[in-house]
Every structure is written in structure tokens, then in C-alpha cells.
Structure 1
């Protein structure tokens, strides 16, 4: 059984026991989170999409909050001596999928 959920502007295919990294949720480690924006649910017998999956929820527990690897942004213009270097680390929340309620 798996589900497709939407959070943080992205979509994730999840199954029970999976650990995924989503955009920062602002929840402490050890707490539970419920994702109610479920786009599809697939079990052994059928696939539920749209209105059929609207009342489904996915329950997960927060494993950790962290930062991803640094991304370097470098701007350069020739002949003028202009160059600029910036770094960015995106914050994420790692969650473990506990239960899919279809």
C-alpha cells in the first residue's frame, strides 16, 4: 500500500515505514504530524484518486530537523571585475511514515 501526499509545494510517494525529507515543518523531533492533503491511495485491490482519496490521511513521526548540503551560487561578469559568491543550506524535516488511513 502506498499514497501520494503533497506538502511544501512538492509531491511524495510514501509507504508505511518510509523515511522522507520534506520542507521544514516547524515541528520538534519525536512529535507526530498528520498529512491530510492526500492525492492518491493505492492498496492491493484498488487505486483511489481525487474525491475518493480526499478523506484519507497519512500519519508520520518527526525523526529530525536539519539542513541539506550547501549549494554554492557564483555570479561573474567578465571584464569588469565583478564576482559574487553566496551559499545556501535548505532546512528540512525528516519524517517516518507510520500509518496510511484510507
Structure 2
């Protein structure tokens, strides 16, 4: 029997005994996790979900937390002559071994559901998180118009505000690590450097 499961925004066709790498999960080596988003089951009878197969699951044992192969990105800033940078990135992954494919009864197994590491952080905010909306609203009163930056529209400006970025001075002070972190938060990898936000912010402050 095989199953087509979904995790980390990707689909995987797996069988019992398969080893695979998926987007990082909140689990330690040796733990058993269960994937409940099953799109299809195959074997003697093929079952296609609508969109998921009710009661089906894939169970797996976490072997280790690993990093993927290094991916090299080359960034050339628009309208900035001789301004370019090459940097590498290694995606954090979880190495799994599939132990069992369940056609039914997924809800009664007692095995914890596989959850992405980022989802856990979002689901368990820090105690002071409740006070953040008021703080952001107060900060917004003295905020700069971030839409002045190339490539920033109302939706992206809102995301920046939610991340606590409200002024050009903050952007002008970003380090490479800050840029990499913000790329992840905004889900627009490379845009900050491609549009030259840091240089634009510095120019706007100096005016």
C-alpha cells in the first residue's frame, strides 16, 4: 500500500519503510509523528480524497533534524551599478522513516500529529503577545509612510507593521541577518535587496 500525503506545502508519495526529508517538524529524534493530511491511498483499491481521505494517516519515526543542500542565490540590485551579492542558504529539514500507513482509525491512535516548527511558534505566543497590538498601534502614530519604498504596497506595509517595522530608520539599520529574517517573515525572499530598501531608507532619512 502507498499513500500520498501533504506536509509543509508539498506532497509526498510514501510506502512503509521509506525514508524521506520534509520541512522541519516540531519533534525530536526518536519521536513518532502522524500525518493526517492524506490525499490518496493506493494498493489493491485506490481511494482518492475529496480533498482528504477520511480517517487515513501516515505514521513515521523522526530520525534526525538535518539541513538541506546549500542553495546559492545571486542578488543584483536594480538601478544600482556594481551592487551585487552572492549568499547561500540551507533549508532546515526533518529526516523521517515511514512506519505505517493507516486506511482508517487515524483519530484513535494517540500518536501526536506532525506539526511544522513555525506553526508551533505561532500557536504558542509569548505571554506578552497580548499587549503587542496596543504597542503596534502606538508605534503606528509616529510611523513613516513605508509605501514610499519601491515595491511596498498597502498589504506589504501592513505586514511590516505587524512585524514591528514602522520607520525608515529601522530599515536603514538592518543587518544581513535582519534582512534574512525579514525575508522569511514576509515570504518575499530577495525582494529587500532586489528593491534596495536599506539604501532607499537611508536616502529618505537624509532628506
TM-score, length-normalised on structure 2?
0.46
Residue aligning to 1:54: 54
Q: Confirm or deny that 1:69 pairs with 2:101.
A: no
Range with greater deviation from structure 2 (6-15 or 71-80): 71-80
Q: Which has the larger strand fraction?
A: 1
Alignment of 1:1-102 (within 5 A): 1-44=1-44, 46-51=45-50, 53-76=53-76, 80-102=81-103
**CA displacement 1:21-56 (0-9 Å, x = unmatched):** 000002101000100000111122x10111582210
- Distance in 1 (alpha carbons) for counterparts of 2:80 and 2:18: 51
- Distance in 2 (alpha carbons) for counterparts of 1:27 and 1:67: 15
The offset of 1:16, in angstroms, is 0.3
- Distance in 1 (alpha carbons) for counterparts of 2:80 and 2:67: 36
- Structure 2 residue runs of 5 or longer lacking an equivalent are 104-207
Contact 1:42/1:48 (8 A) holds in 2: yes
How many pairs does the alignment contain? 101
Residues 79, 55 of structure 1: alpha-carbon distance in 2 compared, 3 angstrom cutoff:
closer
CA RMSD of aligned residues (A): 1.8
Larger Rg: 2
- Distance in 1 (alpha carbons) for counterparts of 2:10 and 2:76: 31
- Distance in 1 (alpha carbons) for counterparts of 2:100 and 2:48: 18
Residues 84, 16 of structure 1: alpha-carbon distance in 2 compared, 3 angstrom cutoff:
same
Range with greater deviation from structure 2 (88-97 or 69-78): 69-78
- Distance in 1 (alpha carbons) for counterparts of 2:43 and 2:73: 43
| SS of residue in 2 equivalent to 1:53 | coil
The offset of 1:79, in angstroms, is 8.4
Q: Which has the larger helix fraction?
A: 2
- Structure 1 residue runs of 5 or longer lacking an equivalent are none
